[in-house]
Amino acid sequence: MREYRDKPQNFVEPTDAEIRARTKRNIAIAAALLGFTAFVFVTMVSRGVIPT
């Protein structure tokens, strides 16, 4: 069965600069989330919250 989609209306194509900025933000968000996860994990281990 074919996927149904409305034809986009009032769609504004992002500029190259906006796409580039969004890509950089996406990479930064991914890196920050990974870093935060590792940071919290190590901190919990260090405090003994997670037994080693």
Partner 1 sequence: MASGPEHKIGEAASETIAAFTSSGLSGSGLSGASLSGSGLSLAEPSDYFALMKPRVMSLVVFTAWVGLLLAPSQLPLWNALASIICIAAGAGASGALNMWYDADIDAQMSRTKKRPIPQGKMAPRAALGFGVVISAASVWVLYIASNWVAAALLAFTIFFYLVIYTMWLKRRTPQNIVIGGAAGAFPPMIGYAAVTGTVTIDSIILFMIIFIWTPPHFWALALYKAGDYGKVGIPMMPNVVGPKSTRNQIMVYSVILAITAMLPIVTGLGGALYAFAAVLLNLAFVAMAYKVWTSRAGERDKAADEASLYAVQAGDRAARNLFAFSIIYLFAMFGVLAAEGLLRGISI
Q: What is the largest CA-CA distance in the chain?
A: 56
Residue 52 touching partner 1 (CB under 8 A): no
User: Alpha-carbon distance 37 to 41, whole Å?
Assistant: 6
| Out of 30, 34, 38, 40, the residue judged to bind partner 1 by CB under 8 A | 40
Residue 38 touching partner 1 (CB under 8 A): no
Cβ nearer to partner 1, comparing 1 with 48: 48
| Out of 7, 12, 16, 52, the residue judged to bind partner 1 by CB under 8 A | 12
User: Alpha-carbon distance 40 to 14, whole Å?
Assistant: 36
